[in-house]
Amino acid sequence: MALKRLTFSPVPNRSATALVLALLLGGCGMSADGINNPLPRMSKEKAEEWARHWTESMARTAQAEIQPQTDPDVPAANFTNCVGKNNESADDGRFALDYSVRAKLPKAQHAEAIRAIRDTLTEKGFEIQGYRSDSSKDPANLVDAKHPKDRQFVSAGDVTDELLVLIVTTPCLLPPHAEQQQF
């Protein structure tokens, strides 16, 4: 199963949130078909490159400018061990990646930007897990989506009057030459 790269068209348009998003992914590569289904293979370097490409694409769709990481204690890429639905933990090197960046965009454009990202994701076959545009809520503008086959998860939302957060969470990935541990 290969992760797909999205191409977003240039249409106008949080870190606790990343944890919630990772939990929504569920059992790290496990599906209804079985606990030992083959995991997608990708190196950490390629996964980070892929996630970076994806957030850049979302930023282009939103017509927002990705901001440099300023806090070394909060890196864009956060690799974690995969833990299964029944708390299984493997020793085969499998990992998941949460990748998060902030993008500058004036508040007046947030709703349109998130709507454009939602529409592009829908066109690409993603299932929208949640969407809102409601100034009485925090965040006011938010979209969460998951790919039904490949299980990658993306989210975009406003975090301040001038910033959006763009998040990509991979499913459980296995390094290219590792032998997948069976449970």
CB 92 within 8 A of CB 53: no
* pLDDT tens sequence across 83-123: 887 888 889 999 999 999 999 999 999 999 999 999 999 99
Residue 116 has a pLDDT of 98
- Higher local confidence (pLDDT), 20 or 161: 161
Report the alpha-carbon distance of residue 87 to residue 30 in Å, rounded: 12
* pLDDT at position 17 over 90: no
**Residue 115: predicted pLDDT:** 98
d(CA 159, CA 173): 29
Higher-pLDDT residue of 118, 4:
118
Supply the pTM of this predicted model: 0.79
pLDDT of residue 165: 97
Residue 14 has pLDDT above 50, yes or no: no
Cα distance between residue 160 and residue 138, in whole Å? 10
What type of residue is 160? T
How many whole angstroms separate alpha carbon 103 and alpha carbon 90?
35
H helices of 63-145, where?
110-123
How crowded is the C-beta side of 96, counted as CA atoms within 13 Å?
27
